[in-house]
Amino acid sequence: MSTPSIHCLKPSPLHLPSGIPGSPGRQRRHTLPANEFRCLTPEDAAGVFEIEREAFISVSGNCPLNLDEVQHFLTLCPELSLGWFMEGRPVAFIIGSLWDEERLTQESLTLHRPGGRTAHLHALAVHRSFRQQGKGSVLLWRYLQHAGGQPAVRRAVLMCEDALVPFYQRFGFHPAGPCAVVVGSLTFTEMHCSLRGHAALRRNSDR
């Protein structure tokens, strides 16, 4: 069985759409430590899980992924994750996997389907010390370009609470209706995004 390659994503200029704040590293480079964007590895699991646990437990009481599931996805499909590191420490991250059905199901929460063409975003979280700075927006935009640059990936999907629908719409996601997945008493809207435009942006930024 072949092992997916893991490659670092160097900080590079981004062409962000209007309404999405620019990277703080571009605005105040002289006051910030070094930034690095790269795919996560299993060794990053404990650090990013602590960020996820604090971010989600404080709001909804539930984590999208437990620690074993974080390690599971970072072992099977690290190329579908992305972390923002400052001085070697994670400050924000996204973890994804491949899915091969039109809509999300309860199984999609824990499975990686290597033949799928859909990147399922399980979790996006920002460390509490770095919130309200636009980091989640910058990271999500970078992730969509990264995922769109992978030939097998055609679209991205996620589920979110209704209050977050406008946030994801800014990145090209559109509501696909109520999600079949229910977590406790929480219900979600399923969001879909074509990655064709993001792939073109990635190609242009690499020139």
**Catalytic residue numbers?**
97, 111, 122, 124, 168
What does DSSP say about strands 118-126 and 155-160: parallel, antiparallel, or unpaired?
parallel
Query: Contact, 20 vs 137, CB < 8 A?
Result: yes
Only one residue has tokens 């910030």, namely: 32
Backbone φ and ψ for 32, nearest 5 degrees, come out as -110, 145
Residue 76's Cβ-side half-sphere holds a number of Cα atoms within 13 Å equal to: 16
Strands of 155-160's sheet in order across:
8-9, 35-38, 81-86, 89-99, 118-126, 155-160, 189-194, 174-178
In this structure, are residues 148 and 195 in contact, taking their beta carbons and an 8 Å threshold? yes
β-partners of residue 3 are: none
Q: Which residues pair with 135 in a beta bridge?
A: none
